[in-house]
Amino acid sequence: MMQESKESKLYFSKELLGWYETAKRDLPWRRHRNPYYIWVSEIMLQQTRVDTVIPYFQRFIERFPTIQALAEAPEEDVLKCWEGLGYYSRARNLQAAAQQVMERHGGIVPDNKKDVSALKGVGPYTSGAILSIAYNQPEPAVDGNVMRVLSRYFLIEEDIMKTGTRTLMEDLATELIPLGRAGDFNQALMELGALICTPKSPQCLICPVMVHCAGRLEGAEDRLPVKSKAKPPRPEYRLVALVEGDGEQSGRVLVRRRPDSGLLARMWELPHIPAAAEPGEGAGLPDGPAMDRLAAVLGGAGVLAAPQGALMEAEHTFSHIHWNMRVFRFQQVDGRGGERTAVAESASAYEANGDVAGPNTGHDSVEYRWITKEDMGELAFPNVFIRILNQYFSMK
Ligand code: SF4
Give 203-219 pLDDT, tens digit per residue.
Answer: 999 999 999 999 999 99
Q: Which of 157, 196, 205, 212 to mutate to test the pocket of ligand 1 (most atoms within 8 A of CB)?
A: 196
Ligand 1 atom closest to Cα of residue 210: 1
User: What is the SS3 assignment for 328-355?
Assistant: EEEEECCCCCCCEEECCCCHHHHHHCCC
Of these residues, 4, 15, 21, 42, which one is catalytic? Answer: 42
Label residue 7 by pLDDT band (50, 70, 90): confident
Ligand 1 proximity of 245 Cβ (cutoff 6 Å): no
* pLDDT number for residue 281: 67
pLDDT > 90 fraction of the chain, expressed in percent and rounded: 74
Please give the distance, rounded to the nearest whole angstrom, from the Cα atom of residue 206 to the centre of ligand 1: 9
Please give the distance, rounded to the nearest whole angstrom, from the Cα atom of residue 91 to the centre of ligand 1: 34
- 218 among known catalytic residues: no
Between residues 356 and 276, the one the model is more confident about: 276
Can you give the pTM of this predicted structure? 0.79
Ligand 1 proximity of 35 Cβ (cutoff 6 Å): no
Average pLDDT over residues 68-95: 94
Please give the distance, rounded to the nearest whole angstrom, from the Cα atom of residue 67 to the centre of ligand 1: 39
Ligand 1 proximity of 207 Cβ (cutoff 6 Å): yes
Ligand 1 atom closest to Cα of residue 202: 7
Q: Which of 198, 206, 221 to mutate to test the pocket of ligand 1 (most atoms within 8 A of CB)?
A: 221
Between 122-136, 312-326, 360-374, the lowest mean confidence (pLDDT) is in 360-374
CA distance 299 to 171: 59
Whether the pLDDT of residue 25 is over 90: the answer is: yes
CA dihedral 7, 10, 15, 16 (to 10 degrees): 130
Q: Centre a 10 Å sphere on the Cβ of residue 33 and count the other Cβ atoms it contains.
A: 13
The 10s digit of each residue's pLDDT in 328-365 is 999 999 765 444 454 544 433 333 343 433 333 344 56
Ligand 1 proximity of 209 Cβ (cutoff 6 Å): yes
* pLDDT number for residue 4: 64
* pLDDT number for residue 277: 65
What structural domains does the chain harbor? 6-223 (1.10.340.30), 234-395 (3.90.79.10)
Ligand 1 proximity of 197 Cβ (cutoff 6 Å): yes
The chain-wide mean pLDDT, for the chain, equals: 89
* pLDDT number for residue 100: 98
* pLDDT number for residue 352: 35
CA distance 312 to 150: 46
- Say whether the peptide bond before residue 225 is cis (omega within 30 degrees of 0): yes
> Do residues 283 and 237 lie in contact, with contact meaning Cβ atoms separated by under 8 Å?
yes
Label residue 47 by pLDDT band (50, 70, 90): confident
Q: CA distances (Å), 250 to each of 302, 336, 379, 394, in order?
A: 17, 10, 20, 16
The 10s digit of each residue's pLDDT in 86-95 is 888 899 999 9
Ligand 1 proximity of 213 Cβ (cutoff 6 Å): yes
Whether the pLDDT of residue 278 is over 80: the answer is: no
Please give the distance, rounded to the nearest whole angstrom, from the Cα atom of residue 212 to the centre of ligand 1: 9
Please give the distance, rounded to the nearest whole angstrom, from the Cα atom of residue 223 to the centre of ligand 1: 12
Please give the distance, rounded to the nearest whole angstrom, from the Cα atom of residue 219 to the centre of ligand 1: 10
